Structure 1
């Protein structure tokens, strides 16, 4: 039992008084003492300002049902975590979860009635992960075009790296390079503050070039220290249509001395163009040089099997939407399983991103996923922390 559970404020929203009583008793047994209830969405709306950490929400209620209440919750200034608790079928619960996430609500998971103590206990652990105070190092305020230009000139890029590990042994095999941006006052910004502006202002290629150059320099340092981890870097479709892209990447490899066989270029599936010839040419040329090619966020776009056949992919990276919590969501699990099987049949590696708990890991192993990535394994970290993390794990 986690001591931090005792400080959680939880509101149960359910029209069935018996269910409210049972859930309250289970939460009390788990050490949660600040528990209140509301009979429907209208009653819950009146209590939102009380600052709840977690809402446990039924779907089918008279007055304001759970789906209607989601719209109210999304417009509210406070953003409590959410668990669905319902007797509806699992497919409907999946749809409700997707809708809530689309509305920007932090969904922790779903529980089917009647209440299961072990399931609520597991989900409370995930509430800690998502709502407990974090040592968060960056904010998301958007930069201006002028600030990005100045930052590129001043070397404002700071990369963090999230480990990718073997799904069975948990041995570290590589990392994904992720953007952080340091402002003149030392604040670290996440990619959301930089990338959209760079795309709108025609600076994306310059940004990608700087990121790749920085990542290759780091890869070279690791190799010199005896750590041969693969490094994945994200590329936009616009980058890959640049006529000079292959030369720029080749130059970065040559200057740094980083081995091409340890480099993976990640391309997001949902952004693959219909006219693929120039992108395919760039990726094929980099593949000839020894780089791996990954299709990122697989399942979120509409890539045809023909595109998968034509591109020289070496890795299929399955989006977190189909991985996290898939053990309790039949539709997500079916898509997840089919994606892993597709990668296997194509003879390429499968990577599951968004692994956030033991249940996610267990499912990945049972489906035969090759590599996994997610907060359950490790959060993104700066280069020196990567080495420390790997050493502690005996790598």
Structure 2
């Protein structure tokens, strides 16, 4: 543990305060790390007893720092237990084991739908942990009071109310060119604040809506409509770039989906050519002929198709050859892994090169540090997206930020200095 830096002053205003639990059998390490995180403003508890991690306790924390090597029970067994929790925290794996072992455990956790935020190899600089938990995948939402997670029925009622009032919260995370960070479009994302619920994870909203196909269809169409209106607004403001929209495969494969989506987009003042529909590897894994036909119809209607989360499973390489996609989005997890191992960097570079050889535009997601940006830029990524550029923003914030970035300097006639752009773009960690 380093004692030279004051984490409060060093990171003031840049890390969202979180409820953290450290599970590690090394008493000195655990206590030092807890002290450091507490000085940074977080609410921290720590233990060496895995059996104390009851489902009720898991609901009371935002982040679990989990040691993989503990006597009596290993961290992988703890991950298995987390799968049984209805509301589980994010996880950062910490270990002195071989980096490939840590990476394998992290991947196994993600495949079990555990929100593994990243890995750290002991010994590590605690500053790296602060950077990690303030990053793009931090999913910054309030989990509410202990035991106070809304029920599925409450979430559905909130979605219905938002649809009726046309207040479905849609925000936008920008994509930029890596050379100069100029605007290149944005991804439409559900906001975190819903009527009657307060802050809630968008993934929880999607999970609840997915149990009713009609509700999921109506929510998707409303997001498409709002996103298209947003893109039309930024085009009117002089910004150029498409809007990307996550598309549930069940909605995509409904009859007449292509014509319905095209009509929705045009009625909002946009062309299908200005919309990229994002589909995940998992959604297309072993996809049916109906899915393949639906994607072909979307391309015929003029929509772009992005394969999202590429790098999470090897099937993505097969999907690249099978599907008429136009954009490849490298998963954030691979960006994070590329910080630590040469093997991951080689895989990342190979994916970017493969995308270009197939004639695809390649987007690097989860770019959170200057080092991330330099790495993917050198590897040839076409676009970048992540917290280094910006968190997700309301439409007005998005337009204002990029209009300010491109405002000519009255004394030099040039665009504002890159350093000023970077400072404006840094997230305030209040998603």
TM-score under structure 1 normalisation? 0.77
- Choose which of 98, 107, 120 in structure 2 pairs with 1:89: 98
The Cα offsets for residues 352-379 of structure 1, whole Å up to 9 and x where unpaired, read as: 2222333332332232222121223211
* Deviating more after overlay: 74-83 vs 330-339: 74-83
Size of the aligned set, in residue pairs, is 383
Contact map agreement 2:31 2:46 (CA 8 A) in 1: no
Matched, 1:214 2:226: yes
Quote the residue 1:383 is aligned against.
Answer: 395
Q: RMSD across aligned C-alpha pairs, in angstroms?
A: 4.5
Quote the residue 1:194 is aligned against.
Answer: 205
Quote the residue 2:181 is aligned against.
Answer: 170
Quote the residue 1:324 is aligned against.
Answer: 336
- Choose which of 245, 251, 257 in structure 1 pairs with 2:257: 245
Report the CA distance between 1:214 and its aligned residue: 1.5
Contact map agreement 1:145 1:201 (CA 8 A) in 2: no
- Choose which of 135, 142, 161 in structure 1 pairs with 2:152: 142
Where do 1:284-299 residues align within 5 Å? 284-299=296-311
Once residues 181 and 388 of structure 2 are traced to their aligned partners in structure 1, the CA distance between those partners, rounded to angstroms, is: 11
Contact map agreement 1:294 1:314 (CA 8 A) in 2: yes
Contact map agreement 1:109 1:123 (CA 8 A) in 2: no
Quote the residue 2:121 is aligned against.
Answer: 111
- Kindly indicate whether structure 1 or structure 2 has the higher relative contact order, using CA contacts under 8 Å at least 6 residues apart: 2
CA 1:307 to 1:172, structure 2 compared with 1: closer, same or farther past 3 Å?
same
* Deviating more after overlay: 178-187 vs 221-230: 178-187
SS of the residue corresponding to residue 388 of structure 1 reads helix
Once residues 83 and 305 of structure 1 are traced to their aligned partners in structure 2, the CA distance between those partners, rounded to angstroms, is: 27
Once residues 296 and 289 of structure 2 are traced to their aligned partners in structure 1, the CA distance between those partners, rounded to angstroms, is: 10
- Choose which of 122, 126, 134 in structure 1 pairs with 2:132: 126
Report the CA distance between 1:74 and its aligned residue: 8.2
The Cα offsets for residues 104-154 of structure 1, whole Å up to 9 and x where unpaired, read as: 466553124xx35xx433333334559999686998753465654454333
CA 1:339 to 1:197, structure 2 compared with 1: closer, same or farther past 3 Å?
same
The Cα offsets for residues 198-233 of structure 1, whole Å up to 9 and x where unpaired, read as: 332122222222211121122222222222221011
Once residues 138 and 310 of structure 2 are traced to their aligned partners in structure 1, the CA distance between those partners, rounded to angstroms, is: 30
CA 1:12 to 1:123, structure 2 compared with 1: closer, same or farther past 3 Å?
same
Mark the structure with the bigger radius of gyration: 1
Quote the residue 1:3 is aligned against.
Answer: 8
Once residues 177 and 67 of structure 2 are traced to their aligned partners in structure 1, the CA distance between those partners, rounded to angstroms, is: 38
CA 1:228 to 1:136, structure 2 compared with 1: closer, same or farther past 3 Å?
farther
User: Unaligned regions of 5+ residues in structure 1, if any?
Assistant: none
Where do 1:1-395 residues align within 5 Å? 1-3=6-8, 13=24, 20=28, 24=32, 59-68=68-77, 82=92, 84-86=94-96, 88-99=97-108, 102=112, 104=114, 107-112=117-122, 115=123, 119-127=125-133, 142-143=152-153, 148-180=159-191, 183-185=194-196, 187=198, 189-203=200-214, 204-272=216-284, 274=286, 276-301=288-313, 303=315, 307-330=319-342, 332-394=344-406
Contact map agreement 1:141 1:193 (CA 8 A) in 2: no
* Deviating more after overlay: 179-188 vs 68-77: 68-77
TM-score under structure 2 normalisation? 0.71
Once residues 280 and 217 of structure 1 are traced to their aligned partners in structure 2, the CA distance between those partners, rounded to angstroms, is: 28
* Deviating more after overlay: 1-10 vs 252-261: 1-10
